[in-house]
């Protein structure tokens, strides 16, 4: 089939498939360039469907033969698959196709990575394996036979039989094709066991390439913790005899929840203290939990269609966030979530790629695995829980699981469970799923004789395809702090439903300070006039850790914005307030490290743009650098004492250890600006773990030092792919603005650079896009370099190309010269012959 013009798919056009599947039998005869896939599928007419067209998806397949009820037939090839005439009664479809895993560089369908076979089917990769109704609402039980000479051959479900040159697997739970998986290769396992709450004994394995066995223990513990947590917190138990995780080097995303056979990007599962930072450990724990939690929220209950992606992703992110909070610190985790939400989702929501959490149309569904679907999707679950309360939340979840087990459902089904449990009408709440854009919440306050009135006005700016916005339900968590610093009104959730609404607190003695949007109770931008003294007061006294941090953040942000605008000197109030928090031994070091963190350059650019000005990346960079220097001087007297208090002689990747290291590393980065690199070099030399080693190297690079250390690092780690990704990334991330593009270009000439491995490509080009002043350097070289490589990568891996093109999504913030240069690059990408559907859709949307 040749490519036709990309077609847009609409939510409103959903119709059920005309046939149900009783069972699927697949046989794989593995061969790197000529794998045979033999399918035998029992279909029956679907009484609920009116459209009886028998269409099977199929892409890049060579059809060898097809049969219906044993009779050879010749199906009609149509765009994206084939059609056939079928009986009006149950029938058996059989087909044999040939595919070529070795040449599959898109990493979708069956492909090869470091000599092993593996699959990635979500969202629509199964159609590259065999002809099939590749849509999530067609669920079936699978039996899989793998024939080949690979030492380990895995698929979903439980092992059935194995013999010379073959194995068979059976998955008793009906599932859609996107959850299918096959892995075969020379793998070794890290085994363990888990006994579920009802006494089922489960075999657990993490499968890795020989040599990586020593990097599995942490992931295995995270898996067991996640299994126990889901039983305790949601009453959800595992449902097979075996659970396998496989680490794969070449992978487009983080990981994939295939039933009983999760496949992970090796960077999201392999961990050791020598090679992984604290942040890596935390992320691995969260992703292992995320994929495991999908077993119920995604697998047992799946999505009716891909527009409902947030049904499984938003909920599962919410679940993994709560798990990580329980494992570590809720306060710290919440601040990290908000940082991430603002950096990725607010950025998306405020640009040309803005879309609702449940989109209404798409060209390529892979382009909708976004921060909006995932992270804003999770925020919606958090708001729902706040509105209905913890008890009703759990009851609603129980009802959802009970009612929809084994089904492919919608957001309406999810919300109905909560309406039925609480008697609430969630119609207005549902707008969170359909309305794109970040709501602005403007607050004003009035004090009158013992009564405090808070008035809020909400508005959401227009987004592509949505010019008018309706008021949303916004849970606003508020607490009041009295003048002496004591909390006089504990956290109360105000439920805003109107465009403008007032709430009063009466019977108050003296005028309190309101702490508003505690725990970041809704994904909105709060606009509230507040002076530095009030912020410093809340920074010192607020009982809500998120708001406490937020006050510090606002102080530093305003300081930076003023420095950028008129080269103002940093305000003493703010510097002192930060120092007080920093040295407060009653506060968690991890929290103090977060308070010391400055807003990113990208965040500042957006803030300046929102205020109606044009951000100048070079000025932003210079101001931030200057404030770091001022902070370093202001805090220099506390470095020695604090540094000693924060020693962690034994590396344990838990909340306590990682918090202490985070603060120590933040201080080290500042100290390095003053001591010529002495302290950082000393830590680099004695580091016995990647957190210390990486942080000391980064401190040096950020101060324009570290060239010897970068060489030493390469020599030490040249045989470790994941550590080498860090080596590539750090050099670009910390390159001076005028060196970022040339550094990235030079690294693409390094023998270990390969465009085919997404982790390596992202290490260099993700870092380039993330180096704000470097990416937006006035000569436009970074824009050109990225575009050139995206054009090359599109031929190899459209999914990763499309995703990385998001680097340009903020282009309209900048001046006419930069806009012109970016437009030229975007148009150059778009003019590339045979550009993929993925990249075409993204670049078109960015340009519009």
Does 122 bind ligand ARG (CB under 6 A)? Our answer is: yes
Write down the least CB distance from residue 319 to Zn ion, Å. Answer: 10
Kindly identify the residues of this chain, within the stretch 268-297, that bind ligand ARG according to CB under 6 A: 290-291
Q: Is 291 a catalytic residue?
A: yes
State which of residues 95, 208, 240, 253 lies at the interface with ligand ARG (CB under 6 A).
Answer: 253
Q: Which does 680 bind (CB under 5 to 8 A by kind): Zn ion, ligand ARG, none?
A: none
Provide the 10 A C-beta neighbour count for residue 796. 15
Residues 6+ apart with CB under 8 A from 67: 73, 92, 93, 94, 95
Rg (CA), the chain: 27
Does 616 bind ligand ARG (CB under 6 A)? Our answer is: no
Does 692 bind ligand ARG (CB under 6 A)? Our answer is: no
Write down the least CB distance from residue 758 to ligand ARG, Å. Answer: 11
Provide the 10 A C-beta neighbour count for residue 786. 24
Does 255 bind ligand ARG (CB under 6 A)? Our answer is: yes
State which of residues 137, 250, 257, 558 lies at the interface with ligand ARG (CB under 6 A).
Answer: 257
Write down the least CB distance from residue 267 to Zn ion, Å. Answer: 16
Where does this chain touch ligand ARG (CB under 6 A) — which range of 248-256, 640-648, 699-707, 727-735?
248-256
SS3 609: helix
Closest to ligand ARG by CB, 627 vs 802, is 802
Kindly identify the residues of this chain, within the stretch 555-594, that bind Zn ion according to CB under 5 A: none
Does 311 bind ligand ARG (CB under 6 A)? Our answer is: no
Kindly identify the residues of this chain, within the stretch 360-389, that bind ligand ARG according to CB under 6 A: 366, 369
Of 291, 364, 550, 671, catalytic:
291
Does 603 bind ligand ARG (CB under 6 A)? Our answer is: no
CA dist., res. 126 & res. 144, Å (int): 14
**How does strand 201-208 pair with strand 242-248?**
parallel
SS3 300: coil
Does 252 bind ligand ARG (CB under 6 A)? Our answer is: yes
Q: Which does 253 bind (CB under 5 to 8 A by kind): Zn ion, ligand ARG, none?
A: ligand ARG
Instruction: Tell which phi-psi region holds residue 107, choosing left (phi > 0), alpha (psi between -120 and 50) or beta.
Output: left
**What are the phi and psi torsion angles at 455 (to 5°)?**
-115, 130
Q: Which does 122 bind (CB under 5 to 8 A by kind): ligand ARG, Zn ion, none?
A: ligand ARG
Does 313 bind ligand ARG (CB under 6 A)? Our answer is: yes
Write down the least CB distance from residue 225 to ligand ARG, Å. Answer: 18
Closest to Zn ion by CB, 316 vs 460, is 316
Write down the least CB distance from residue 7 to ligand ARG, Å. Answer: 19
Contact 66, 74 (CB under 8 A): yes
Write down the least CB distance from residue 397 to ligand ARG, Å. Answer: 19
Q: At what angle do helices 678-686 and 655-671 cross, to 10 degrees?
A: 140
CA dist., res. 808 & res. 776, Å (int): 10
CA dist., res. 734 & res. 721, Å (int): 20
How is residue 734 written in tokens?
């910390």
Does 303 bind ligand ARG (CB under 6 A)? Our answer is: no
Closest to Zn ion by CB, 250 vs 313, is 313
Contact 279, 657 (CB under 8 A): no
What does DSSP assign to residue 179? Answer: G
Classify residue 502 by burial, with Cβ atoms within 10 Å: 0-12, 13-18, 19+. Answer: middle
The dihedral formed by the CA atoms of 137, 141, 146 and 151, expressed in degrees to the nearest 10: 100
Helices (H), 797-830: 798-804, 816-830
Write down the least CB distance from residue 236 to Zn ion, Å. Answer: 16
Helices (H), 181-329: 217-234, 278-293, 309-327
Residues in the chain: 848
Where does this chain touch ligand ARG (CB under 6 A) — which range of 255-263, 267-275, 493-501, 817-825?
255-263
Q: Which does 841 bind (CB under 5 to 8 A by kind): Zn ion, ligand ARG, none?
A: none
Q: Which does 730 bind (CB under 5 to 8 A by kind): Zn ion, ligand ARG, none?
A: none
Kindly identify the residues of this chain, within the stretch 801-840, that bind ligand ARG according to CB under 6 A: none
Write down the least CB distance from residue 289 to ligand ARG, Å. Answer: 11
Strand partners for 450: none
Where does this chain touch Zn ion (CB under 5 A) — which range of 315-323, 376-384, 461-469, 643-651?
315-323
Among 326, 308, 205, 345, CA closest to 263: 205
Where does this chain touch ligand ARG (CB under 6 A) — which range of 56-64, 254-262, 387-395, 784-792?
254-262
CA dist., res. 317 & res. 310, Å (int): 10
Where does this chain touch Zn ion (CB under 5 A) — which range of 314-322, 436-444, 453-461, 555-563?
314-322
The CA-CA-CA angle for residues 508, 511, 513, to 5°, reads 110
Helices (H), 101-179: none
Does 123 bind ligand ARG (CB under 6 A)? Our answer is: yes
Total residues contacting ligand ARG (rule CB under 6 A)? 14
Where does this chain touch Zn ion (CB under 5 A) — which range of 311-319, 338-346, 355-363, 626-634?
311-319
Among 180, 177, 138, 176, CA closest to 157: 180
Binding stretches for ligand ARG (CB under 6 A):
122-123, 252-257, 290-291, 313, 366, 369, 799
Binding stretches for Zn ion (CB under 5 A):
313, 316
The catalytic residue positions are 291
């Amino acid at each position: 089939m040749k490519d036709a013009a990309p077609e847009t798919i609409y939510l409103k056009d959903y119709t059920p498939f005309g046939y149900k599947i009783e069972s699927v039998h697949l046989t794989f005869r593995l061969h790197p360039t000529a794998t045979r896939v033999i399918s035998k599928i029992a279909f029956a007419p679907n009484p609920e469907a009116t459209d009886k067209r028998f269409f099977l998806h199929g892409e890049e397949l060579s059809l060898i033969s097809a049969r219906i009820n044993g009779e050879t037939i010749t199906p009609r090839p149509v765009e994206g698959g084939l059609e056939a005439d079928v009986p009006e009664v149950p029938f058996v479809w059989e087909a044999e196709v040939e595919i070529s895993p070795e040449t599959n560089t898109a990493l979708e369908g069956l492909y090869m990575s470091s000599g092993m076979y593996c699959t990635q089917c979500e969202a629509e990769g199964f159609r590259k394996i065999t002809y099939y109704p590749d849509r999530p609402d067609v669920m079936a039980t699978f039996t899989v036979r793998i024939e080949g000479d690979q030492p380990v051959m895995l698929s979903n479900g439980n092992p059935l039989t194995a013999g010379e040159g073959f194995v068979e697997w059976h998955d008793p739970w009906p599932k859609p094709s996107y959850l299918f998986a096959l892995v075969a290769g020379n793998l070794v396992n890290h085994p363990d066991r888990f006994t579920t709450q009802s006494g089922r004994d489960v075999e657990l394995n993490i499968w890795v390439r020989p040599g990586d066995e020593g990097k599995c223990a942490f992931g295995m513990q995270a898996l067991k913790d996640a299994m126990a947590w889901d039983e305790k917190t949601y009453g959800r138990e595992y449902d097979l005899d075996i659970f396998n995780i496989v680490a794969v080097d070449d992978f487009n995303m983080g990981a994939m929840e295939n039933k009983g056979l999760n496949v992970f990007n090796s960077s999201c599962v392999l961990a050791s203290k020598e090679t992984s930072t604290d942040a890596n450990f935390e992320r691995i724990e969260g992703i292992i939990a995320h994929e495991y939690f999908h077993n119920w929220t995604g697998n047992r209950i799946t999505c009716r269609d891909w527009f409902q992606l947030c049904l499984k992703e938003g909920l599962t992110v919410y679940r993994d966030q709560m798990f990580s909070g329980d494992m570590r610190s809720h306060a710290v985790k919440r601040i990290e979530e908000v940082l991430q939400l603002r950096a990725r989702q607010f950025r998306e929501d405020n640009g040309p790629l803005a879309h609702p959490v449940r989109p209404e149309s798409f060209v390529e569904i892979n382009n909708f695995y976004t921060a909006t679907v995932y992270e804003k999707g999770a925020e919606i679950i958090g708001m729902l829980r706040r509105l209905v309360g913890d008890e009703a939340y759990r009851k609603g979840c129980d009802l959802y699981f009970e009612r929809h087990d084994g089904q492919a459902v919608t957001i309406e089904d999810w919300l109905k469970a909560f309406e039925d449990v609480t008697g609430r009408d969630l119609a207005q709440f549902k707008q969170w799923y359909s309305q794109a854009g970040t709501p602005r919440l403007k607050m004003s306050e009035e004090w009158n004789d013992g009564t405090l009135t808070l008035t809020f006005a909400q508005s959401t700016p227009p987004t592509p395809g949505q010019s008018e916005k309706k008021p949303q339900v916004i849970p606003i968590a508020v607490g009041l702090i009295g003048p002496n610093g004591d909390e006089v009104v504990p956290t109360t959730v105000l439920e805003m439903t109107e465009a403008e609404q007032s709430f009063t607190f009466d019977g108050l003695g003296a005028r309190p300070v309101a702490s508003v949007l505690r725990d970041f109770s809704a994904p909105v931008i709060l606009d509230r006039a507040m002076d530095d003294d009030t912020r410093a007061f809340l920074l010192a006294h607020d009982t809500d850790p998120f708001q406490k941090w937020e006050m510090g953040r606002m102080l530093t942000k305003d300081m930076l914005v003023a420095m950028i605008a008129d080269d103002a000197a940093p305000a003493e109030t703010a510097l002192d307030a930060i120092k007080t928090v920093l040295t407060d031994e009653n506060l968690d070091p991890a929290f103090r490290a977060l308070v010391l963190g400055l807003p990113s350059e990208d965040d500042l650019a957006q803030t300046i743009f929102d205020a109606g000005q044009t951000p100048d990346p070079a000025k932003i960079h210079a101001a931030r650098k200057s404030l770091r220097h001022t902070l370093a001087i202001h805090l220099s007297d506390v470095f020695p004492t604090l540094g000693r208090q924060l020693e962690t002689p034994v590396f344990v990747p838990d909340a306590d250890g990682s918090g202490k290291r985070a603060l120590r590393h933040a201080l080290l980065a500042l100290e390095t600006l003053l001591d010529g690199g002495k302290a950082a070099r000393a830590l680099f030399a004695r580091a016995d773990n990647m957190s210390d080693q990486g942080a000391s190297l980064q401190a040096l690079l950020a101060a324009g030092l570290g060239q010897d250390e970068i060489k030493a690092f390469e020599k030490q780690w040249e045989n470790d792919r994941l550590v080498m990704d860090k080596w590539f990334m750090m050099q670009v991330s910390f390159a001076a603005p005028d060196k970022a593009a040339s550094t990235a270009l030079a690294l693409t000439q390094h023998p270990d650079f390969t465009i085919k491995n997404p982790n390596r490509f992202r290490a260099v080009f993700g870092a380039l896009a993330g180096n704000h002043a470097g990416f937006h350097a006035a000569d436009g070289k970074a824009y050109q370099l990225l575009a050139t490589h995206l054009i090359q990568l599109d031929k190899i891996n459209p999914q990763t190309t499309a995703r990385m093109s998001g680097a340009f999504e903020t282009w309209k913030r900048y001046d006419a010269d930069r806009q012109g240069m970016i437009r030229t690059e975007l148009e150059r990408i778009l003019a590339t012959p045979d550009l993929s559907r993925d990249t075409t859709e993204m670049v078109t949307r960015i340009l519009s």
